[in-house]
Amino acid sequence: MEVRALELRIGDVKLAREGWSLCADGTFGEGIHLISGEVGSGKSSLALILSGNAPPESGEIKMDGIGSTAIAFQHPEYHFTGTTVAEECSSWSLPADEVIAGARLAGKEGLSPFSLSRGEMKRLVISCILARPCDLQVLDEPFSSLDPYEKELVCARISARTSGITIIFTHEQEIFPHVDYLWEIEDSALVYRGAVPEALGRWRHAPPLIKKFLARRLHPKNISPEDLLEAACRT
């Protein structure tokens, strides 16, 4: 059986809004890609384009072998179509009990998704997204509104994804999943920093802890909590 090679290619994609602009070129293959950048740098706009939910103002997007895509919007309420939490899960063609357990929302099946706290909304959407097999997943600020414990649980689920293309847009500075490739938005351009761990020294938006490790010549194998703990144990 022939295995499809998945690839997302963007060529000379340009965006412009009042006060900022962005130019993006690059190729995303299978694996987990992390794109960091400052608030307002254009991450959400680029996420919409890469997921096929908005056209670029110029340039082109090509998808090879990608038959299914999904995006987790930064604002979880943009997803909701069901009148209850259980109906929302079913709208994704997913078993409600399984997804609700993954989101740790047992007992709230009959509530409106809009009655949940911000963090609960986020957990529901992320649980739905990660429960669906998909060739291309685009996650826009998947850690926002989550406490550190919930961030670690989400990171563990993302790290466990072993097929397809996952693209994470975030300005998170503390807790990350295990990632394969680093990108960042800098000086109005999407910049590819390379594969992890070699790319860590070129990561301008690296969190303070990773910069501290590198300054002391302690090179983490990756950026997940487990990898940073292992590096700390070598001090």
Q: Please write the tens of the pLDDT for every residue from 18-56.
A: 778 899 999 999 999 999 998 888 899 999 999 999 988
SS3 assignment, position 139: strand
Q: Identify whether residues 18 and 42 lie together within a single domain.
A: yes
Token pair for residue 105? 């929302």
- State what percent of residues in the chain have pLDDT above 90: 83
Classify residue 55: in a domain, yes or no.
yes
Overall residue count recorded for the chain in this entry: 235
pLDDT band per the 50, 70, 90 thresholds, residue 4: low
179 C-beta neighbours (distance < 10 Å), count: 22
Residue reference for tokens 């099946």: 109
CB distance 154 to 168 below 8 Å: no
Q: How many domains does the chain have?
A: 2
- In angstroms, rounded to a whole number, what is the distance separating the alpha carbons of residues 20 and 25? 17
Looking at residue 188, which CATH number applies to its domain? 3.40.50.300
- In angstroms, rounded to a whole number, what is the distance separating the alpha carbons of residues 227 and 209? 12
Q: Identify whether residues 59 and 145 lie together within a single domain.
A: yes
Q: Please write the tens of the pLDDT for every residue from 87-145.
A: 999 998 888 898 999 899 999 999 999 999 999 999 999 999 999 889 999 999 999 99
End-to-end CA distance of the chain: 48
Q: Identify whether residues 76 and 192 lie together within a single domain.
A: no
Task: Indicate the pairing of strand 189-195 with strand 31-36.
Answer: unpaired
pLDDT band per the 50, 70, 90 thresholds, residue 149: very high
Give the CA-trace dihedral at 125, 127, 129, 135, to 10 degrees: 170
CB distance 171 to 141 below 8 Å: yes
Q: Which amino acid is at 18?
A: E
pLDDT of residue 234: 81
> CA nearest 29: which of 5, 61, 13, 2?
5
Q: Identify whether residues 63 and 1 lie together within a single domain.
A: yes
Q: Identify whether residues 142 and 90 lie together within a single domain.
A: no
Please give the backbone phi and psi of residue 217, each rounded to the nearest 5 degrees, phi first.
Answer: 60, 30
Token pair for residue 190? 């999407």
pLDDT of residue 5: 86
pLDDT of residue 3: 56
- In angstroms, rounded to a whole number, what is the distance separating the alpha carbons of residues 69 and 147? 27
Task: Indicate the pairing of strand 181-186 with strand 20-29.
Answer: unpaired
Q: Identify whether residues 7 and 36 lie together within a single domain.
A: yes
Residue numbers of the domain that contains 87: 71-132
Q: Identify whether residues 63 and 95 lie together within a single domain.
A: no
Average pLDDT, rounded, for the chain:
93
Q: What is the pTM of this model?
A: 0.94
Token pair for residue 99? 């997804």
Q: Please write the tens of the pLDDT for every residue from 172-213.
A: 999 999 999 999 999 999 999 999 999 999 999 999 999 999
